[in-house]
Amino acid sequence: MLASRFRLGILIALAALGGCAQRSHRASLPPALPPVKAAMERQVANAVDAGDGELLLASLRQAVAIHPRDTAARLKLAGWYEQAGFFDLALDHVRMARLIDPSSQNLALAESRLLDALSLPGEAAANLAGFLAVHPGDATGHSWMGIYADRDGDYPLAEKAHRAALALAPDDDRLHNNLGYNLLLQKKYVEAEGAFRQALLLAPNSNVARNNLAIALASQPSDQGRKRAVEQWERLGGAAAVHNNMAAVLIERGRWAEAREEIGRALAMEPGYQPALMNLRLVSQLDGLPATYQAGAVAPGFWQRVAGTFKTIFVGTREQAAADRTPGLNR
């Protein structure tokens, strides 16, 4: 639980992924139908559930009925169902479109996205692996495959995919950042540092890459690494955020007493700082001690002279983390 909470707060390039669809099911199973008829009846039933009265939906369904091999029309209809939260029905239409045009990158990516929306990141990665076996030169496909493999916890496979994407597009800073994130997950902190530094060489103003570089530095065992991490965070501004970020890294490493000290410093500077309060609640759950801090825990010095407004939340929701990660080549 600790590791997953820490990962959610890292400001890295994660794919913007949807949540799971929750559907109701009948108590008894209907008689079996031939595959084609079953698929059609399922589409009709779910279309009614989704609100068949909407003019746009009716128009899209008519277009598909008139031109059943029009993959663009079917993809638009799938998009409507996806927006409505009917990921399984959207997946049906995308898969039908892929039977018509199996070489389409857009359809392959759409199928993997919907599989992940159904909480099947392993199947999403496997789907892209099949596509890339035929189209190995697709950097975007490799990048998304790496992201889904990271989500599935298959970090070696993800690393291979991220490196394949970089081999095809070495000048894309986001791909270096995504590789660095994968290396962080594998606790390969020195290698992760190198990936983030390369991302910053290509995009010096990337706050995401700089924040991740600080995480990689702070995660290394030496005190020198922590000092260099602080230097990176200071460039983003906000003394309270600097202390809170360090606390998050210490929490991930199980150094809860030191994390409390950093949280205390952050809250002494900004008593209502919500990211630090969230970390305080988290460390309280982990060490079993009260969610309190020493208000005077900060020592005088350069910390008070650091000014800025940039605030980094290390412990947040899945949606907050997911919104920051997109593969390169696809913005």
Would you kindly state where each structural domain of the chain is located, as residue ranges?
237-322
Top-confidence range, 30-34, 93-97, 235-239, 249-253: 93-97
Amino acid at 15: A
Q: How far apart are CA 192 and CA 257, in angstroms?
A: 26
**Tokens (6 digits) for 312:** 């980094």
Q: What is the pLDDT of residue 41?
A: 52
Q: How many helices (H) and strands (E) does the chain have?
A: 17, 0
Q: For position 8, what pLDDT does the model report?
A: 32
CA distance 173 to 209: 9
Task: For 66-121, give the DSSP string.
Answer: H-TT-HHHHHHHHHHHHHTT-HHHHHHHHHHHHHH-TT-HHHHHHHHHHHHHTT-H
Average pLDDT of every residue of the chain: 78
**Per-residue model confidence (pLDDT) at position 123:** 95
At 42 the pLDDT is: 56
Residues 229-272: tens digit of each pLDDT: 888 988 887 888 888 988 998 898 888 998 999 999 999 989 88
Band (43; pLDDT cuts 50, 70, 90) = low
pTM over 0.95: no
Q: How far is CA 196 from CA 177, 210, 212, 222, 228, in A?
A: 6, 7, 7, 19, 14
Q: Are 111 and 95 in contact (CB under 8 A)?
A: yes
| pLDDT for residue 325 is more than 60 | no
CB 175 within 8 A of CB 165: yes
Rounded Cα distance between 321 and 327, Å, is: 14
* SS3 readout for 243-290: HHHHHHHHHHCCCHHHHHHHHHHHHHHCCCCHHHHHHHHHHHHHHCCC
H or E stretch covering 143? helix 139-152
> What proportion of the chain, given as a percentage, has pLDDT over 90?
52
Report the alpha-carbon distance of residue 161 to residue 148 in Å, rounded. 10
Report d(CA 297, CA 302) in Å as an integer.
15
